[in-house]
Chains A and B, each alone.
Chain A
């Protein structure tokens, strides 16, 4: 884990430079660069004091939101080392590298690689590796020194000795550090200093209950966390993938054909892994890590779990034109998020009416372009309310066998949601209208059938009838009317016949 200065990717300036923030009515310094720190100016000082030390101090307003966003981007970029990466506070990134250090040939090499790439991006940093998060935090901020250039091989050993805390030696590494390294409040640190505890080693030697009685239980908890007894989980920035394959490129690539080839190669790797486990992927995320630290993502989803490499590669490469490679891509990472069991396929001679393998790739392609919720099955439901009698179910859900619904009077082929209000004229309150006006056209009714009464389904929690205006109705009387030209409409009167005034709507048109 490593802290980095708040100004993001700008290289360390030669002149003293600080950022200023307004806090509690005064201008305070939010951060100072090393040149300023060398002159004795630290963050948290009031601006007036700093200017009295150094009259020519260059200042800028602190942009905390942009800094937080830049830190998030950096944490996303650190995804190339491990999916468990997250920003830590306002100036650090924590990465869980258990299980991924061997991909670089060891922790020292991983640290060197990280240091080198950060230096190339112009981020000055301090980093440390330890077996507990608390120990790494402490060593990074209080023990490690800043590394400017890329460490050569001969300096690697020296670097490793300084920043990598070997397994089990967290206690020894923490002992000489000041108590502020325990992530405590300044007030508690002050209190510890007053009783003469300046080093972590001294605090560790004191009996725990004495510390708890005097300073509260934070101190004891931080000590335990630094030594690893209660594990401190890291919540990663994004969703943690269940399978991940990575392709690191020696030279950055930018050509779309090369990107496509990289995607295909990764798809083959992932598919071979999935095939060994008998699983198929539902959601894939392809991340392109650019040399300047940004990450571009392509996300696809499938309706059914799939491990067909040609199909998945085609879905991914179809969206390649949304990726801007910038100056070049140096890493490509393919992560599978939703992985489900997928048995080996049987070829079926008589296909059922469900989604079979024949049409599933087509639905995936349509879903990649229009979104998977553009596809729906129209499933019947047991309901008297017409708009609830047929619902759109997502394509990936299993089609459930519905019992045959009881016979109903004829239904229209087009149903308007919401029903459109019309102005209707009738002779008797119970009768269908003899004339009605809809969409500025008048229709004279030649023949009519009805009424069919539909009442609200009070036994369902959402069984209310709602008309176009949103007000609930208790009753709808449906009429099938045919006008003089032959078009057949489905009208209903909302409310009871005696209600003044009755409201009429057109709900659908028959074929």
Chain B
């Protein structure tokens, strides 16, 4: 083996030793350059815990965070997961002896199967996504047709209603222990009020082991709980705050301004392993493909017409 390849393999091994759990299962990019650049690996880490907070009155209803989480969960796909094959792994590395712990059962996958490891192709995105999304909450106010508009197929959702936070944490942990095989769980979404640091750490370890992604939506009922929980340090890999901001003016109807493209203010509060924190973007709300977008033009460009949910349906049927 050439010395360059050896060097690359050794660097990869050092990187894996330094951050043993991170990016083991691949990333889910946002397809928006500004956001993807701020995240290590170029996207949201799969097989990890991510936290989403609301702002203002939305901390009680959790609508914007639900839409954002739906847009992420809807794009997590188990179709090409081979149990035992680490997603996003370098195909070259899988052929070498270096950089693998031989005790790790994942190292037996031969290099010829490497092309089947998940890649971010348009081909992958266009196919129907598989894997169950387990959504746990205390109140039953989730509305599936609304989630479908942000890219999450309602047929994948299994809703669990638990009366208390410890019940929700238990369900999340059980869900994270299931393997992410094609018929199993793709991601778990939990609407939690109180999240102790220890519980968060356990969820993170379980997610790293199984490859199932956990999205925690923080939803509080009263001011005291909110004040104490907002500042608590968390074990999540990334921490976001989502707020709804006024939409771009839409087509006028009877001389009244209509709602145009709805928008979110997405703030990355904390990201493990990234240099910059507290970055904010004003994005257009995720549409039926689950992707947010930042309009490239300036403010006086006319707002683009909204893509209706019908079109992705046609794409799915054809693809």
Contacts and interface: CB of A to CB of B under 8 A. Distances in A.
Contacts of B56: 485
Contacts of A411: 143, 145-146, 149
B141 A415 contact: yes
B263 interface: yes
Contacts of B157: 377-378
Interface residues of B, number: 70
Contact of A358 (B66, B146, B183, B285): B183
Contacts of B153: 353
Interface stretch (B2-10, B200-208, B239-247): B239-247
Nearest to A380: B154
B150 A413 contact: yes
Interface of B: 56-58, 61-64, 66-68, 70, 78-79, 128, 130-132, 140-147, 149-150, 153-162, 167, 170-171, 174-175, 178-179, 181-185, 243-247, 249-250, 253, 256-260, 262-264, 285, 308-310, 313
Contacts of B170: 369
Contacts of A361: 178
Given A359-B184, A487-B57, A413 B66 contact: yes
26 contacts: A350-B130, A351-B78, A351-B184, A353-B132, A359-B184, A359-B185, A366-B160, A366-B171, A370-B162, A370-B167, A370-B171, A376-B161, A378-B154, A378-B159, A386-B145, A411-B149, A414-B61, A414-B143, A414-B146, A415-B142, A431-B256, A432-B256, A449-B258, A510-B262, A511-B67, A511-B150
A414 B183 contact: no
B263 to A, nearest CB: 7
Interface residues of chain B: helix, strand, loop or mixed (majority): mixed
Contacts of A362: 174-175, 178, 184-185
Given A411-B145, A417-B140, A482-B247, 10 more contacts: A349-B182, A351-B78, A353-B156, A362-B174, A386-B145, A407-B309, A413-B66, A432-B256, A449-B250, A509-B61
A389 interface: yes
A511 B68 contact: yes
Contact of B70 (A413, A439, A509): A413
A380 B146 CA distance: 12
A390 interface: yes
Contact of A488 (B131, B158, B183, B244): B244
Contact of B179 (A358, A365, A432): A358
A390 B145 contact: yes
A496 B187 CA distance: 44
A351 B154 contact: no
A221 B245 CA distance: 83
A482 B246 contact: yes
A412 B63 contact: yes
B149 A410 contact: yes
Contact of B174 (A349, A365, A508): A365
Contacts of B167: 369-370
A413 B65 CA distance: 10
Given A350-B182, A358-B179, A404-B313, A412 B159 contact: no
A449 B79 CA distance: 39
Interface in A334-378: 348-353, 355-359, 361-363, 365-366, 369-370, 374-378
B183 A390 contact: no
A407 B306 CA distance: 14
Nearest to A365: B174
B57 A510 contact: no
B263 A486 contact: yes
Contact of B146 (A365, A412, A416, A431): A412
Interface residues of A, number: 62
A449 B259 CA distance: 6
Interface of A: 348-353, 355-359, 361-363, 365-366, 369-370, 374-380, 386, 389-390, 392, 395, 399, 404, 407-408, 410-417, 431-432, 439, 441, 446-449, 480-482, 484-488, 508-511
Contacts of B132: 353, 355, 359
Contact of B184 (A358, A386, A412, A511): A358
Contacts of A447: 246-247, 249-250, 256-260
Nearest to B135: A378
A352 B185 CA distance: 12
A358 B62 CA distance: 30
B142 A448 contact: no
A288 B146 CA distance: 49
A351 B63 contact: no
Nearest to A374: B161
A407 B150 contact: no
Contact of B145 (A357, A380, A399, A488): A380
A366 B142 CA distance: 19
A67 to B, nearest CB: 39
A76 B149 CA distance: 55
Contact of B160 (A348, A350, A374): A374
Contact of A486 (B61, B247, B258): B247
Give 6 nearest A-B pairs by CB, closest first. Answer: A511-B67, A351-B183, A356-B183, A358-B184, A351-B182, A378-B144
A365 B155 CA distance: 21
Contacts of B154: 378-380, 390
Contacts of B57: 439, 441, 487
A358 B182 CA distance: 8
Given A392-B159, A446-B246, A485-B246, A508 B146 contact: yes
Nearest to A401: B155
B63 to A, nearest CB: 4
A332 to B, nearest CB: 27
Contacts of B175: 362
B243 A486 contact: yes
A408 B243 CA distance: 25
Contacts of A441: 57
B228 to A, nearest CB: 22
A356 B184 contact: yes
Nearest to A487: B244
Contacts of B258: 447-449
A373 B183 CA distance: 22
